Structure 1
Amino acid sequence: MGASVGGQLRVGRVYRYASSKDPEPADLDGYPNFYHVTHSPNLNRAQLDAGVNGMAKVEAPDGPRRPAILIRSSPWKAGSEQTPWHDVFNMDSGHVRYFGDHKAGMSVAPGTTTGNAALLEDFAAHQGRTPEQRAASTPLLLFRTVSRSGKTKGHVEFCGLGVIERAERLVQWGGPEHTTFINYVYDIALIDLTNEDDEVCWEWIHSRRDESVSDERALGLAPRAWREWVLHGNSALPRLRRRVARAKVTKVPEQRPKAATTEAKDLELIYKYFDGRKHDFEAVASAVAARVLRGTGNSYLEGWLTRRSGDGGADFVGRLDLGSGLAGTSLVVLGQAKCVKPDSLITAEQIARVVARLRRGWIGVYVTTGAYSVAAQTEMVEDQYPIVLINGLDLVQALRSMARDDHGGDLTACIEHILSGRETAVTNRRPEEILLE
């Protein structure tokens, strides 16, 4: 039984990742056995023991080829001294933001750690200019650790097949010395697997591990969208990216932190901090909007805060840049900040006031400590309002992520830094002037 090639990895399915590393049986404790699904007879086992797990290269007919890189993210480690970063998995929109493996206190160069070296090499290959170069590049198989039965280890969820779009050096905070260090972060596009029923067949990876199989022959077993990407390159990613068509209305309880959680305490702290000084909240709302919009790989410029008007129309201005040069454009971002009790609801009328001030080429961002009513969201979807809604839970998660990255997890210090260190001026300038900067 153990001699056959593994099966299919299905997006969203949880697999048992047992310490025994045995491919049999096919199911363990009610979950598919990871080692059974990824089994390659007479070859080393696929591993997820590290964050970045690059399979050994083979000498294929077309030259050296790495069969796959398996990436594992462990959300339960996020914010710790050794793992201060917070990976972002937006599977519905086909985007993953993954931090490399350089850590505080390491003496080696950031790009030479095992994980970063493999991903940077793959990033260069993913930028290949010819189909032949891209056919030899390494597919990324992404997983994240999930908790089951109160345990944080032993189960992983398959999150999809990826291509690296961008690699960026950045400064992070962490380690027992509470110091800064350099690391890499990768923006990864998840490839559409609709044609394969949201599955990746292990036979494709197995063929890439066979040194007698050419790149072209192995490519014949790849998912359709991957073959399209190999043929056309990164210019095809917008149409090949994974998208999940689902209702765009989020229930009110899902917009709020669960009671008695750290996030609920954080939201209450934020509300009380700005109660009676709501105008100061606009600076934090502007910073959070920038964090959220940049989090999907976009280029965003914070502009300025507007003077108090009391009309609920606009509190801050920013600019969203898409593309570059002649192939790019910029959008004016008009922001509204609303610091209300966490159990409050934002109505359709309140959102409509922001939308009414938008011109062609402008979008709105609404940031609140509360939640958006179902009626407000339904009207936004039906009327196709060009506006981004950031609720109380989104706000807390963004601020907490900023606090972990730059302030050792101190949320109050993060807020005070935003208020005291911002260069954004309060002004009466016209929003469209942001396009000139």
Structure 2
Amino acid sequence: MTDFIDATATESVGGPDDTTQPYDFPMARQSSCPFAPPPEYAEMRASNPVAKAKLRWSGKPVWLVSKHEDAKRVLGDTTMSSNWKHPGYPLQVPAPDEIIQMIELPMVAMDPPAHRARRRLLTPELTMQRVQALRPRIQQIVDEHVDAMLAAGGPVDLVQALAFPVPALLFCELLGVPVEDSELFKRVTQTLVRSDVEQDEMMAAQQEMEVYLNQLIAAKESADADDVMHRIIVKNREGGGLDRGDIVNIAKAMLFGGYDTASNMIALGTLVLLEHPDQLAELAADPSLIPGAVEELLRYLSIADSSPARVTTQDVEVGGQLIRAGEGIIVLTGSASRDDEAFADADTFDIHRDARGHSAFGHGIHQCPGANVVRVELEVVFATLLRRIPGLRLAVPMESLSFKSGTLVHGVNGELPVTW
């Protein structure tokens, strides 16, 4: 979503005298293990931790940062820009520049002070204390869907039965979406996170969500309620200085920052646990291990692997490599979380490790504001599945499952049939 750079240009990332062959990005994940990142990541960490690459869709040059320490360095550097409209920004999905230059940037693509003004309204609403107060309602939503699973009897598709609807309904709760609108909300959000959707269908869903959220915020401006969006509207009225479009933008940040992540983590995280039955049994026997297991799942999967991207506004050195002003950087959180220097035996899933230093939610000023919501939601989902469906297992061979490719968020593509 930035200006195109001519793919035939002779000057590559690293300067005209650098003859190192760039990687093509993104790379394919390992076919033998759906949980593993592309094999090139380990190669980069070992010998070329700040590597040059070119984006497959545009041929645009970019730097790839693969080690944990360097990833934190980049994501914590406030001199680097997240602005999609900057000519050097490494946008990873095809989009005409004329469209990008016209759109209102989402929060994830804003720099201070615009980003700070919006985050200041949102962050206090998503503290761990606030989210823990939501735990009984999250539990109720999960229990209702597990009740339906048990009533239907196995096999059921865990994606449609649990992974899609639970995050959608929770965000209805946060946004104050009326119950009668929840089906529309779920339908549109499911379209927006599919990997097989056509561009016209995707744009129509985005437009439908934009219209709906505008109407929702307009209604809340003159109503009295006790939900996150209404409180944000009130705080903004008292001195925030943002217009309705800005508030809609905050709502979209909540939706897309937490819904897609949680939905994919529920499905893929359940699959990881089922593929590690000894550790699954430990969690069932001792539920106090579940919060740590959630952190390890977040680290091990790092499903939003290449989402954090930046463009430099001044010359900077990262991992011993000089990166010139105006060059793009993609932080590979999936690689950073598999860095043995940060996490011993990092390719091994281990619910007993201290995984809290992972960067699955990003880092710095753009760290996912909904991280606490996702954490608590995953804790409730996995604890409930273990307690209420102790015999949960795959209903099909692992080899028959399909996984997403070519998307910014990794996950199960299609169904995840389970039984008990």
TM-score, structure 2 normalization = 0.25
Structure number with greater CO (CA < 8 Å, separation at least 6) is 2
- Please state which structure has a larger fraction of its residues in helix: 2
Name whichever structure is richer in strand by fraction: 1
